[in-house]
């Protein structure tokens, strides 16, 4: 349980920068990425999650908030702390990739928006990028399903 809590806390280390190619392709890709990024902008809370098959503690899940901001910035609110960082999206990859950075730590992950929810699966710092939206057994990935915060 402590490992899950620490993993989720460390998860709060995210970052976004859109990658592209020069010329006309760059403009098309930026427009496509922008549409994806626009769908994730805003504040999200945990609907469900797992690390190595374990759910996050209820008290932690109640206060966790992830806010994706414009220009590749994010903030995460966790108990007694707010974490800021940056993220990069590569929508050309399948599944869509997200690279997250915070305080010198980098995590690789995958992300999708499905039924109005963000599905996010990220590695431990320096770990390999997950290839599935899950965290079973001895997996070091953190998988979260996020829903928009109700105002």
Residue 80 belongs to domain with CATH number = 2.40.128.280
**Average pLDDT of the chain?**
81
Give 151's pLDDT tier (boundaries 50, 70, 90). confident
Domain that holds residue 50: 2-148
Cα–Cα distance between 98 and 85 in angstroms, integer?
13
Q: What is the mean pLDDT of residues 138-144?
A: 91
Local structure of 136: helix, strand or coil: coil
Averaged pLDDT, 60-85: 92
Report, as an integer, the average pLDDT of 17-25. Answer: 37
C-alpha distances (whole Å) from 123 to each of 11, 73, 138 are: 9, 19, 12
* pLDDT 10s digits, 42-55: 999 999 999 988 99
Phi, psi of 97 (to 5 degrees): -100, 150
What pLDDT is recorded for position 34? 56
- Taking alpha carbons only, the member of 5, 18, 11, 6 closest to residue 105 is 11
How many structural domains is the chain composed of? 1
- Band the pLDDT of 93: cuts 50, 70, 90: very high
């Amino acid at each position: 349980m402590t490992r899950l809590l620490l993993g989720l806390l460390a998860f709060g280390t995210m970052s976004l920068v859109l990658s592209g190619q020069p010329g006309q392709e760059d403009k098309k890709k930026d427009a496509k990425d922008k549409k994806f990024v626009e769908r994730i902008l805003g504040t999200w809370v945990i609907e469900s999650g797992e690390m190595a098959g374990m759910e996050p503690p209820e008290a932690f899940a109640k206060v966790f908030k992830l806010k994706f901001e414009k220009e590749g910035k994010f903030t995460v609110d966790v108990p007694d702390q707010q974490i800021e960082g940056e993220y990069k999206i590569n929508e050309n990859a399948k599944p869509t990739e997200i690279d997250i950075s915070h305080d010198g730590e980098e995590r690789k992950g995958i992300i999708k928006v499905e039924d109005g929810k963000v599905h996010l699966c990220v590695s431990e710092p320096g770990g390999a990028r997950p290839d599935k939206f899950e965290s079973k057994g001895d997996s070091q990935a953190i998988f979260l399903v996020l829903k928009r915060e109700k105002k």
